[in-house]
């Protein structure tokens, strides 16, 4: 393990354009930044657990800033530390992640709406460590907290998160973003997101240890004249095209030698549009999904990622030339790969220290359905986003006695599902909607093992924390929570849907 910091420095890439050079930036990084400014593939600033310690202590300030995004121009948006994406946090199993959050946003202009499922309080946030298997309560990955602007009378000047990464935590690629109900979509579409890397066993596989370790963080912004609008009405984002950025740049250029193997940590930090990735002239050798390592690499020419999903892939440079990473429905490449330089002959691994892909037969079955209704309300928010079936939220007034659109809404004081530790459950989740086909299912705190899609068993089940549900289709997964107790969430990771009610509370119990 003592080689990790040294290897990290050697593999460090230049900072994103516009990023501030901090005290943690090494002289080597500063030199290479100057040298490569015109052609460098940007990497977010990296903050790692210092050698010989087991604690990463850092501060994340959120404020409005004007910044220059390469290929985009000047934008004004809410960011972590003045950058899109925010800094990459690198930790190891057993570490403590201690973050002081400074909310430098102006006070909210309006308080909570009378309906909690109407977006609101766009300057209040909190922290979610997406995909991490950590405590969902207290000051850890607790998304029920509110970090109010410092200018609000009585508000704390700093809000603190203290997250212990369990010793047995999987090594892989995770991310962080705000999760305050009502403001998540606005903040995520403004670029508030950053990558979390948990180092560990997979990094010691020789073929992977030899590969350059590259973050590919895809942000999806909805810009209107250089600003990201607040979600103050249903259609605030609908007339705007998505601007996709990779590490804060539009179509950055990455170089690779013929025969060189690189490890790309692809993070879909967007909120509205699923990715369907293709890399010209190359196959992607996937080694992990959502931070969970496969038993062996899986090669494919296309890679689907729902909003919130991650894929770690190995890419081996092909014939010299220029290639594009594209996604369906977007008219320009996400990034460009240039194969150039002296040929190398780096091998791909055959086996990986993956997580077994089976769970025992379930003791409990649940069926839920994600359903949206269009143009059913008057006012600024006309649509309803609901989760129906087992555990659905009942009518707010039990005496009403009739089924209406208050059924299945998110209710912050209503536990929809109690999941007993150690018990295997099998869930089938339906996408029961005609008009909004993309409803990625996201579960906090625990990964789930997808075993079937549309009722057809998968040859090899796949661990996820976020999974696409096919339009008019289903996914079936098994789940066994083992340790953390307390309240947590499941929701749609089209996060505007989540903000408008497509979310449920899970309580993990002994
Ligand atoms: Cu949805």
- Going by C-beta distance under 8 Å and a sequence separation of 6 or more, which residues neighbour residue 466? 130, 131, 290, 306, 307, 308, 309, 440, 441, 442, 493
Cα 503 to ligand 1 centroid, rounded to whole Å: 9
Q: Find residue 479's DSSP bridge partners.
A: 425
Ligand 1: centre distance to CA 38 (Å): 40
Distance CA 174, CA 243 (A): 22
The domain covering 364-509 belongs, at the CATH homologous superfamily level, to Cupredoxins -  blue copper proteins (2.60.40.420)
Kindly give the distance from the C-alpha atom of residue 12 to the centroid of ligand 1, in angstroms, as a whole number. 37
Element holding 432 (H helix, E strand): none
pLDDT at 34: 36
Alpha carbon distances (Å) from 167 to 96, 127, 198, 364, 465: 10, 22, 11, 29, 20
- What pLDDT score does 23 carry? 32
pTM of the model: 0.91
24 Cα–ligand 1 center, Å: 40
pLDDT of 109: 83
Please tell me the distance between residue 323's alpha carbon and the centre of ligand 1 in angstroms: 33
Domain ranges of the chain: 3-201, 218-339, 364-509
Question: Residue 494 in contact with residue 439, Cβ under 8 Å?
Answer: yes
Question: For residue 345, how far is its CA from the centre of ligand 1 (angstroms)?
Answer: 44
Contact 44, 88 (CB under 8 A): yes
Expressed in angstroms and rounded, the spacing between residue 480 Cα and the centre of ligand 1 is 24
- CA 366 / ligand 1 centre spacing (Å): 19
CA of residue 491 to ligand 1 center, whole Å: 8
Output the CA 234–ligand 1 centroid distance in Å: 14
Q: How far, in Å, is the centroid of ligand 1 from the Cα of 369?
A: 11
pLDDT at residue 66, rounded to an integer:
84
User: 493: CA distance to ligand 1 center in Å?
Assistant: 6
Q: How far, in Å, from the CA of 308 to the mean position of ligand 1?
A: 12
Rounded to the nearest whole angstrom, what is the distance from the C-alpha of residue 325 to the centroid of ligand 1? 26
Residue 51 CA: distances (Å) to CA of 6, 48, 56: 10, 9, 10
What superfamily does domain 3-201 belong to in CATH?
Cupredoxins -  blue copper proteins (2.60.40.420)
How remote is the CA of residue 417 from the centroid of ligand 1, in Å?
A: 19
Q: How far is the CA of 312 from the centre of ligand 1 (A)?
A: 25
**Residue 484 contacts residue 445 (beta carbons within 8 Å):** yes
Residue 499 Cα, ligand 1 centroid: separation in angstroms? 10
Q: Tell me the CA–centroid distance for residue 458 and ligand 1, in Å.
A: 24
CA pair distance 97, 140, nearest whole angstrom: 9
- Name the stretches of the chain with pLDDT < 70: 1-39, 111-112, 152-156, 397-403, 435-436
Instruction: Give the ranges where 215-298 is alpha helix by DSSP (H).
Output: none
Distance in Å, CA 307 to ligand 1 centroid: 10
Give me ligand 1 centre to Cα 384, in Å. Answer: 10
Instruction: For residue 386, report the distance from its CA to the centre of ligand 1, in Å.
Output: 9
Point out which residues pair with 448 in neighbouring strands. 464
Distance 305 CA to ligand 1 centre (A): 15
Please give the distance, rounded to the nearest whole angstrom, from the Cα atom of residue 279 to the centre of ligand 1. Answer: 28
Q: 79 alpha carbon to ligand 1 midpoint, in Å?
A: 24
Task: State the distance from the centre of ligand 1 to the C-alpha of 489, rounded, in angstroms.
Answer: 14
User: What pLDDT is recorded for position 288?
Assistant: 98
Ligand 1 center from residue 438 Cα (angstroms): 6
| Long-range pairs for 108-114: beta carbons < 8 A, 24 or more residues apart | 108/148, 108/149, 108/152, 112/182, 113/182
Q: How far is CA 180 from CA 112, 155, 409, in A?
A: 12, 16, 16
Distance 472 CA to ligand 1 centre (A): 13
Ligand 1 mean position, distance from CA 502 (Å): 7
**What is the pLDDT at residue 11?**
30
User: CATH 2.60.40.420: does it fit domain 218-339?
Assistant: yes
Distance 328 CA to ligand 1 centre (A): 19
């Amino acid at each position: 393990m003592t080689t990790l910091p040294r290897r990290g420095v050697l593999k460090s890439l230049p900072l994103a354009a516009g990023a501030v050079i901090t005290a943690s930036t090494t002289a080597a990084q500063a030199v290479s930044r100057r040298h490569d400014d015109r052609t460098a593939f940007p990497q977010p600033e990296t903050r790692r657990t210092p050698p010989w310690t087991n604690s990463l202590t850092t501060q994340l300030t959120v404020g409005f800033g004007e910044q220059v995004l390469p290929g985009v121009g000047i934008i004004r948006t809410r960011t972590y530390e003045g950058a899109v994406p925010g800094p990459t946090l690198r930790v190891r199993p057993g570490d403590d992640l201690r973050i002081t959050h400074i909310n430098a946003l102006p006070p909210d202009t309006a308080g909570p709406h009378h309906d909690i499922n109407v977006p609101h309080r766009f300057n209040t946030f909190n922290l979610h460590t997406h995909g991490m298997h950590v405590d969902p309560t207290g000051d850890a990955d607790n998304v029920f907290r509110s970090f109010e602007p410092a200018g609000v009378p009585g508000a704390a000047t700093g809000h603190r998160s203290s997250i212990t990464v369990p010793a047995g935590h999987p090594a892989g690629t995770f991310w962080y973003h705000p999760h305050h109900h009502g403001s998540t979509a606005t903040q995520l579409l403004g670029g508030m997101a950053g990558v979390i890397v948990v180092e560990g066993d997979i990094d010691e596989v020789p073929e992977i240890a030899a590969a350059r370790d590259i973050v590919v963080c895809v942000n999806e912004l909805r810009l209107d004249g250089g600003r990201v609008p607040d979600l103050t009405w249903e259609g605030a984002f609908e007339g705007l095209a998505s601007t996709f950025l990779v590490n804060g740049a539009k179509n950055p250029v990455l170089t690779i030698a013929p025969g060189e193997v690189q490890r790309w940590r692809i993070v879909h930090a967007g909120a509205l549009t699923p990715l369907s990735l293709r890399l010209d002239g190359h196959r992607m050798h996937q080694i992990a999904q959502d931070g969970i390592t496969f038993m062996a690499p899986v090669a494919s020419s296309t890679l689907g990622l729902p909003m919130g999903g991650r894929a770690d892939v190995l890419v081996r440079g092909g014939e010299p030339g220029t290639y594009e990473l594209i996604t369906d429905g977007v008219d320009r490449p996400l990034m460009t790969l240039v194969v150039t330089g002296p040929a190398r002959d780096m091998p791909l691994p055959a086996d990986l220290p993956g997580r077994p892909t089976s769970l025992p037969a379930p003791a409990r079955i649940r069926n839920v359905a994600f359903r949206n209704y269009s143009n059913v309300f008057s006012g600024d928010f006309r649509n309803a986003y609901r989760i129906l079936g087992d555990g659905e939220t009942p009518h707010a007034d039990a005496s009403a006695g009739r089924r209406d659109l208050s059924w299945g809404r998110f209710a912050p004081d209503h536990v929809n599902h109690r999941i007993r530790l150690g018990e295997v459950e099998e869930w089938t989740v339906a996408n029961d909607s005609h008009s909004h086909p993309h409803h990625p299912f996201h579960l906090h705190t625990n990964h789930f093992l997808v075993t079937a899609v549309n009722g057809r068993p998968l040859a090899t089940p796949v661990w996820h924390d976020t999974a696409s549900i096919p339009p008019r289709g289903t996914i079936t997964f098994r789940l066994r929570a083992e340790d953390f107790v307390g309240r947590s969430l499941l929701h749609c990771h089209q996060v505007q849907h989540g903000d408008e009610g497509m979310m449920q509370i899970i309580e993990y119990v002994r």
